[in-house]
Every structure is written in structure tokens, then in C-alpha cells.
Amino acid sequence: MSKREGFTLIEVMVAVMIISVVVAALLQLQSNNTNTFVRLKKMQQTLQYASLLQGSKYGLENDSLTLDRTVERFDLDDDLRRELKDIHAKVIYQKLDTIDTKGFDDTVTDEQTQSEDEASPLVIEIGRTVLQLPDSSASVMRIRIP
């Protein structure tokens, strides 16, 4: 009987193949995670830009603007203002529904609805504002009382 003191060539080749498959799978997983992280970071930034439209006069009508116009009422760092000035956006407002509260009031009679002295019922407009940036977009729901 002969004594065996090492690995055969086939055993070494199988081990190298297994290790290379594992390394390739790990590299693919890291690449996918990096792409997901970059996409989520861009989405977060776009949603932050869309939040600038909340509570402002912008976003309730179609418009093209630079984002620095949305923060005119804030005291911001000059670097941030310059960054926002370079971002061109398109704002699209879509009216989704109108709710007239007159239909919900059971106490109003036909005579009262024809009276001009009565206060007009509350009308609520529901819409969506879409902020389109050069490489992404975000939308926010808006409620407004015209």
C-alpha cells in the first residue's frame, strides 16, 4: 500500500471551483446591495425635495421651477441655496376629487339652499402634486380648500 501525503489535482481543482463560485456570489450580493442603497438614497433625497412643496404656494398648479424658489421663506446656508438653484424641476398638479360638504348636512332644507344669505358649504379639493426631477420623481397628496 502506498502512503498518500497530499491532495490530488482533481481535489484541488474542485476546491478552487467551489471557492470561486462563493466569491462570485458574494460579489454579486455586494453589487446588488450597493445599487439598492444608491437607489434608496436618491429616492429619499427626491422625497425631501418634494416635502419643500408642502405648505407653500408651489405645487398647486403646473409649473417649471428651480428648487431654490420653494425655500424663499427659509433662512438657509448659501451652499444649500446654490445646490437647490442648480436643480430644475417640473411640478404637475392633478386634481383628483372634490368633496362638497353640502351633501353631508341633513339639517339644510331646500329653502335654506336657495337663500343667498347662508354661508356657503365647505368644499375640499383633493389632488396630487408630482415633482419631476431630471432623473427621478416623487408625488405627494394635497388637500386644499379653494
Asked if 58 contacts 65 with a C-beta cutoff of 8 angstroms, the reply is yes
Does a structural domain hold residue 1? no
- What percent of the chain clears pLDDT 90, i.e. is strictly above it? 34
Does a structural domain hold residue 3? no
The whole-number pLDDT of residue 3 equals 73
E-state strands within 81-122: 88-100
Minimal CA–CA distance to 92: which of 131, 127, 134? 131
pLDDT digits (tens, 9 = 90+) for 75-121: 888 888 888 889 999 999 999 999 888 777 666 555 555 554 456 77
For range 30-36, the mean pLDDT:
96
Secondary structure of residue 92 in the 3-state scheme = strand
The whole-number pLDDT of residue 111 equals 55
Does a structural domain hold residue 4? no
**Tally of domains in the chain:** 1
Whole-Å CA distances, 38 to 19, 48, 125, 132, 137: 29, 15, 36, 18, 15
The whole model's pTM is what?
0.63
The whole-number pLDDT of residue 110 equals 55
Does a structural domain hold residue 2? no
Q: Find the domain containing 76 and state its range.
A: 9-144
Does a structural domain hold residue 22? yes
The whole-number pLDDT of residue 113 equals 53
Asked if 72 contacts 80 with a C-beta cutoff of 8 angstroms, the reply is no
Does a structural domain hold residue 80? yes
pLDDT digits (tens, 9 = 90+) for 35-87: 999 999 999 999 888 888 877 777 788 889 888 888 887 888 888 888 888 99
Phi-psi domain of 59 (left: phi exceeds 0; alpha: psi -120 through 50; beta: other) = left
Q: Phi and psi dihedrals of 19, rounded to 5? A: -65, -40
